[in-house]
Amino acid sequence: MSSVYRGDEYSYFDMKKLTTIRVGGKVSEFVRPKSISDLRLLIKKKNKIKAIIGKGSNTLPSDEDVDGVIIGMSDFNKSNLLQVKNNIFTVSSGISAPKFSKFVSNYGYSGAEFMTAIPGTIGGLLSMNAGCYGTEIWEIVKRVQTIDLEGNLHTRTADDYKISYRCLIPKYKNEIFLSADIILIKSSVEKVKDKIKSLMLKRIMSQPLEKFSFGSTFKNTKEISAAKLIESCNLKGYKIGGAQVSLKHANFVINANGTASSKEINDLINHIATKVFNKTGVKLEKEVRNLGDGFEF
């Protein structure tokens, strides 16, 4: 059945369009809430919710169709971009991180430059403790606002989470991020823009940004990067069906020409992990999440 669109709700929505790796079956209901009241209405369907998603830039859906609701947060409170008070910016979880970074750079605020390179929503970055070039989002978060699956609002701080590299374990499970208060430092527009320019240049040189991917597939180990381990197994360019280890960056699994299935992507991820373990004894840990991970509905 083809996708049907009613306002902000879609029936039989193609999950390929939900993620940057562009794989997956269909979902019977995909909804993008715009406000807390929209979200509260959706939460009432608790037993039907299967996943919360931002931009889907770190998410792998299955090839099988999903019978239930996926909540897409990328339109949430978008019109309410941010408020600022004494260097603290309140930003909606639905705002794209690069958009936020560029916005504050126009006013010469420093600290969010790294976000220009991460193509997710603020909510997705919070959930992943995403970061790059030496900064992680939770280092600059003062507090967040969340909603639980009963519809109650909460204010949380870093103390309410166990935070580590690309990992956030909440004390209070199953809460959706609504917004974050982010602390930035006043600098000059020129300095901030220069920093963004140089880190984006690094990205363009080292990552296959023109290909469908979810960024780094595996977490780096403390001692050595996942890319170096994968390269040491001569896996650059290795293919399973339409899934391929990027020639440009060994830790990027790509959907080479847009025809890969989720199974092929998964098989390639497992193949890489096995090869690296057999050769080096290192057990690579996945950074990418399966659709629905992080919540217990």
Q: Hey, which residues does 30 pair with through a beta bridge? A: 10, 70
Does residue 214 touch ligand FAD according to CB under 6 A? yes
Q: How many residues does the chain have?
A: 297
Distance CA 186, CA 206 (A): 30
Rounded to a whole number of angstroms, the minimum distance from the CB of residue 34 to ligand FAD is: 13
Per annotation, catalytic residue among 216, 246, 261, 262: 216
> 186 vs 87, 88, 143, 179, CA distance in Å?
7, 11, 19, 21
Q: Which of 77, 101, 105, 127 binds ligand FAD (CB under 6 A)?
A: 127
Q: Hey, which residues does 156 pair with through a beta bridge? A: 144
Element (H, E) at 252: strand 252-255
Rounded to a whole number of angstroms, the minimum distance from the CB of residue 35 to ligand FAD is: 14
Least Cα distance to 267 among 128, 63, 17 occurs for: 63
Does residue 209 touch ligand FAD according to CB under 6 A? yes
Residue whose pair of structure tokens reads 């070039």 in the numeric block: 133
Asked whether the beta carbons of 255 and 272 are under 8 A apart, the reply is no
Does residue 61 touch ligand FAD according to CB under 6 A? no
CB nearer ligand FAD, residue 54 or residue 190 = 54
Rounded to a whole number of angstroms, the minimum distance from the CB of residue 25 to ligand FAD is: 17
Distance CA 153, CA 282 (A): 42
Q: Which stretch binds ligand FAD (CB under 6 A): 1-9, 49-57, 83-91, 223-231?
A: 49-57
Q: Which of 49, 118, 192, 240 binds ligand FAD (CB under 6 A)?
A: 118
Residue ranges in 160-179 that form contacts with ligand FAD under rule CB under 6 A: 166, 176-177
Contact residues for ligand FAD, defined by CB under 6 A: 20, 52-59, 73, 93, 117-121, 123-125, 127-128, 130-132, 166, 176-177, 209, 213-215, 289, 293-294
